[in-house]
Amino acid sequence: MSFEPLKLRADFPALGRVFDDGRRLVYLDNAATTQKPRDVLKATRRYYEESAGNVHRAVHRLAAEATGLYEEARQKIAAFIGAPSPKQIVFTHGATEGINLVAHGWARKFLNAGDELLVTEMEHHSNLIPWQQAARAKGATLRLVPVLADGTLDREAFRRLLTPRVKLLAVTHASNVLGTINPIAELIREAHAAGARVLVDGAQSVPHLPLNVAALDADFLVFSGHKMLGPTGIGVLYAKPELLDAMDPLLTGGEMISRVWDDHATWAEPPQKFEAGTPHIAGAIGLGAAVDYLAKLGHDALRQHELALTAYALEKLGAVPDLKIFGRAPERLGVVSFALEGVHPHDVAQFLDRDGLAIRAGHMCAQPLLRRLGVPAVSRASFYLYNDRDDVDRLAAALLAVRKFFHAT
Ligand code: 7TS
């Protein structure tokens, strides 16, 4: 299917916003969070208006409907990422929680002193700090695979670092700063051959790329609903069944138990074992609707659209004088980080906001990477299915205007 971003835009109420000066919103902060289509808003609202019971406990009709909708969402998500069973889908509140769950429930349980954890220099803080903490708690060592000047991983260094001491490789599928798409299938294969498990941070990739966890043979995969048209506060941890069986829960309490005595308890089967308390039921249902929307568009068509738009953006931004683009990986997402010489990235974002353009500026929750890039902050534009060439033209024009303003004053 060919993409018609203008038509798709009509599905997103927020994208209809026009500011006081008559300029329409150009939303280019999709790597932070995406806008929500009506289908997602409707599904969420319908749960609250019609079926607002709790899940997995009461027998009344509302509770049965809520449970049905919640479990249906789990099935849709399993199908979307190619998980063999919905039992491998644990609802979390986002990618960050999923990583913490594995760091606590698996790493802290199974790591020994002298073991090693491998991450990369392009990780978001969410896929770094939980491993720093786990390594410290267990006397293990954390090592970082370097990033080369073009924004790709140093594969030779990776192979050198991948010793039999490495118990886990935790790696982002795609960088939220450089846009680099890592060769995840090869990294998993090499890590497995060295005897390590692999956690894939899919926060940036699952919303944009075709992905099949079973084919990849990933041990763990995490992602967030809000970066793929879904609600905030809902995300997913996928894991192989034997890992879910072996792991400890992060949260304990109601609904995650099998039997409870005065002084101890036994756990329910996964995924319930990891979903203590009342979950974000509306969020899960909303994420199910988001997955329906994306599946209808087709991941391959979405990828083609984003590839073409990113190539256009790199060309247009490349023509803005004094603009430096970070990351030149051949395989990349629609994420473009840049710096305009002599202008602070926050000032760039502020100026663009006046023109109705939403971009992000800052350290992108990737301080170790920015330190290596030699900058304290960058500006970032990130695209999704509803962006088009007109948005890129507006971005390039606004950047030229910012440059002119700062050079003239
Ligand atoms: N991993 C990556 C690669 C990310 O880009 C992010 C969020 C996370 C994990 C954490 O996701 P969360 O939903 O649990 O917060 N990245 C960004 C970003 O680039 N701008 O805002 C959030």
Check pocket membership of 96 for ligand 1, CB cut-off 6 A.
yes
Fold designation for 5-30+299-408:
Aspartate Aminotransferase, domain 1 (3.90.1150)
Going from N- to C-terminal start, the domains of the chain cover 5-30+299-408, 41-296
- CA–CA distance, 133 with 112 (Å, rounded to integer): 14
Mean pLDDT of 200-224: 98
Closest ligand 1 atom to Cα of 174: 3
* Tokens read off for 4: 């018609």
Question: In whole angstroms, what separates CA 242 from the centre of its chain?
Answer: 24
Mean pLDDT of 11-17: 97
Please provide the average confidence, as pLDDT, over all residues in the chain. 97
Check pocket membership of 126 for ligand 1, CB cut-off 6 A.
yes
Check pocket membership of 32 for ligand 1, CB cut-off 6 A.
yes
pLDDT digits (tens, 9 = 90+) for 310-326: 999 999 999 999 999 99
Kindly give the distance from the C-alpha atom of residue 146 to the centroid of ligand 1, in angstroms, as a whole number.
Answer: 20
Please give the single-letter amino acid code of residue 221: L
**Residue 56 near residue 67 (C-beta atoms within 8 A):** yes
Tell me the whole-structure pTM to 2 decimals.
Answer: 0.98
CATH topology agreement for domains 5-30+299-408 and 41-296: no
Kindly give the distance from the C-alpha atom of residue 128 to the centroid of ligand 1, in angstroms, as a whole number.
Answer: 12
pLDDT digits (tens, 9 = 90+) for 376-407: 999 999 999 999 999 999 999 999 999 999 88
Q: Which residue has the least CA distance to atom 11 on ligand 1?
A: 95
Portion of the chain with pLDDT greater than 90, in percent = 96
Ligand 1: which of 176, 178, 228 to mutate, judged by most atoms within 8 Å of the beta carbon?
A: 176
Check pocket membership of 176 for ligand 1, CB cut-off 6 A.
yes
Closest ligand 1 atom to Cα of 96: 14
pLDDT digits (tens, 9 = 90+) for 139-151: 999 999 999 999 9
| Bond into 271 cis (ω within 30) | yes
Give the per-residue pLDDT at 58: 82
Closest ligand 1 atom to Cα of 366: 19
Q: Which residue has the least CA distance to atom 16 on ligand 1?
A: 32
- CA–CA distance, 331 with 263 (Å, rounded to integer): 54
Q: Which residue has the least CA distance to atom 18 on ligand 1?
A: 32
Check pocket membership of 94 for ligand 1, CB cut-off 6 A.
yes
Of the listed 365, 370, 396, 398, which one is catalytic?
A: 365
Kindly give the distance from the C-alpha atom of residue 201 to the centroid of ligand 1, in angstroms, as a whole number.
Answer: 9
Q: Which CATH architecture has domain 41-296?
A: 3-Layer(aba) Sandwich (3.40)
Q: Which residue has the least CA distance to atom 6 on ligand 1?
A: 203
| pLDDT score of 409 more than 90 | no
Give the per-residue pLDDT at 1: 53
β-strand 89-92 against 235-239: which pairing, if any?
A: antiparallel
* Tokens read off for 199: 């956690």
Check pocket membership of 201 for ligand 1, CB cut-off 6 A.
yes
How many CB atoms neighbour CB 73 within 10 A? 28
In the residue annotation, 365 being an active-site residue is answered as: yes
Question: In whole angstroms, what separates CA 154 from the centre of its chain?
Answer: 23
Ligand 1: which of 92, 125, 126 to mutate, judged by most atoms within 8 Å of the beta carbon?
A: 126
Mean pLDDT of 14-32: 95
